[in-house]
Amino acid sequence: MKVVILCGGKGLRMYELTEDMPKPLALVCGKPMLWHIMMNYKHFGFNDFILLLGYKGEKIKEYFVDYNWKQHDFMLDTGSGKLELLDDNESFKITFVDTGIDTMTGSRIKRARRYIGDETFMLTYGDGLSNVDINKLLEYHRKMGRTATVTGIRKKTQYGILTVENGIATSFREKETSGGLINGGFFVFEPAIFDYITDDTNCILEQEPLKNLARDGQLAVYHHEGFWTACDTYSDILRINMQCREQQNLWKVW
């Protein structure tokens, strides 16, 4: 099963870092956030990734193209040019898709449809860390039998608020200030999700598509009670790296 990761945003609230790099490459415990997200999926057996690129997407390509020789011990035969990794337990299969600098989240997904195919797939953001159990999320999605499942997090925030009855979303409201279940990312989608996404560049997943899924009774909600954090600002990165120094890598599942 493919894991699609949204990596194209400009990260304007993290400009201290994103002037020179895309937000998913911001370092957490010495590794990019994106690497931590991918390692968690890999732990649960999901290793086929599609990265939806936009702002400074070439930096993400460069990181992974150079990943083997920069991040591992290796033996090089200078005669043949053969490079043998000595400690490779982090292999990924990655499809890089340039989806445009100003393309919105829903439209990025739609532009990658030919790579995703007509099968169930997972989706998350490249700036959220969590210890969500991906296998339990997938099991719940299959049990509920809906077009989409979103991971719900109970947190007082400005993010999208989900109203839930019997495990099914009845409404989705973005940018509320009151407490409630929020959109924590970590989605599972059936191919029918593409019927909810328009073909233009301005379709925002978190607006009409999720609202309409909730209206149609097609948005299941998986409750996650464990660790979750968004990495929206420079102060978020500082806070998370402080947790690293205190040996509190609460999102790490492997």
The three-state secondary structure class of 25 is: helix
How large a percentage of the chain has pLDDT more than 70?
A: 94
**What pLDDT is stored for residue 157 in this prediction?**
53
Q: With 80 as the cut, is the pLDDT of residue 156 above it?
A: no
Domains and CATH numbers, the chain: 1-131+235-248 (3.90.550.10), 144-226 (3.90.550.10)
What span, in angstroms and rounded, lies between the C-alpha atoms of 89 and 32? Answer: 17
pLDDT band at 79 (very low <50, low <70, confident <90, very high): confident
pLDDT band at 89 (very low <50, low <70, confident <90, very high): low
pLDDT band at 253 (very low <50, low <70, confident <90, very high): confident
pLDDT band at 10 (very low <50, low <70, confident <90, very high): confident
Residues 236, 55, 133, CA angle at the centre, nearest 5°?
50
Q: List 26's β-bridge partners, or say none.
A: none
Give the predicted TM-score (pTM) of the model.
0.89
Q: Kindly state the DSSP code that residue 170 receives in the 8-state scheme.
A: E
